Amino acid sequence: MKKLYLYDFDGTITNKDSLFEFLKFASPSLKYKFQLLRFAPLFLGAKLGVLSKSETKRSFISTFLKGKTKNEISAISHSFLEHIQKNDFFKKNALESIEKHTQKGTVFIVSASLDLWLDAIAKQLGVGLICTQAEFIKGVFNGNFKTHNCNYEEKPKRVQAEIDLSSFTEIHYYGDSKGDMAMKPLATNFYYNYF
């Protein structure tokens, strides 16, 4: 029996939202606080459905990271990984579940967060990664996304495009939000707020 284990990231295996934590870590404190205040009305508009969540997210990330090289961002992401391993960023029981399942089958993180910081985390955990991808031109982040925002209906689309699901007898999915519900039809076992 081949088993596939798919985990949402933010809120499922973490206690905090990685997007805000990473950008706060990567930026001077005053700049982060100023931009957070500037974007507050846009975040509200996105939550109410007046503005695009994906575009608001892209614009916010671009404000901090556009123009940085792939090497610069990689260095920040590895320092960020060291930082979050020292505090309560991860849910301990979720990490234990991932470690157990990597021995039993194939494990992927499936997340709307970006590869900019998730690449290092996925490699550290020894799992595959399907997520929103940043676009680089000649090794420099241009502020755009290379893929669609990997959330809601985009999650199963990406999973089906990147994994041969027919080769697995069991598909387990762990999520915690409305953005994960589109994965329910693909899963033989669907866990909501399990951790």
- What would the mean pLDDT of 33-48 be, rounded to a whole number? 96
Percent of the chain scoring above 90 in pLDDT: 98
CATH number where 111 lies: 3.40.50.1000
Q: What is the residue-averaged pLDDT of the chain?
A: 97
Q: pLDDT category, 33, cuts 50, 70, 90?
A: very high
Q: What is the structure's pLDDT at 116? A: 98
Q: What is the structure's pLDDT at 31? A: 96
Q: What is the structure's pLDDT at 1? A: 80
Q: Give the tokens for residue 169.
A: 């007898």
- Residue ranges of alpha helices (H) inside 48-69 are 53-65
Interacting residues of 156 by C-beta distance below 8 A, sequence separation 6+: 182, 183, 185, 186
User: Residue 17 sits in which domain range?
Assistant: 3-192
Q: What is the structure's pLDDT at 127? A: 98
Residues 121-129: contacts with CB within 8 Å, 24+ apart?
121/77, 121/81, 124/81, 125/95, 125/98, 126/102, 127/7, 127/98, 127/102
Round to the nearest angstrom and report the end-to-end CA distance of the chain. Answer: 25
pLDDT digit string, tens, across residues 119-130 = 999 999 999 999
How many domains are there within the chain? 1
Q: What is the structure's pLDDT at 104? A: 87
Q: Is 182 helix (H, G, I), strand (E, B) or coil?
A: helix
- What would the mean pLDDT of 58-71 be, rounded to a whole number? 98
pLDDT digit string, tens, across residues 141-178 = 999 999 999 999 999 999 999 999 999 999 999 999 99
Query: What's the whole-model pTM score?
Result: 0.95
Q: What is the structure's pLDDT at 190? A: 98
Could you tell me whether strands 140-145 and 134-137 are parallel, antiparallel, or unpaired per DSSP bridges? antiparallel
Q: pLDDT category, 91, cuts 50, 70, 90?
A: very high
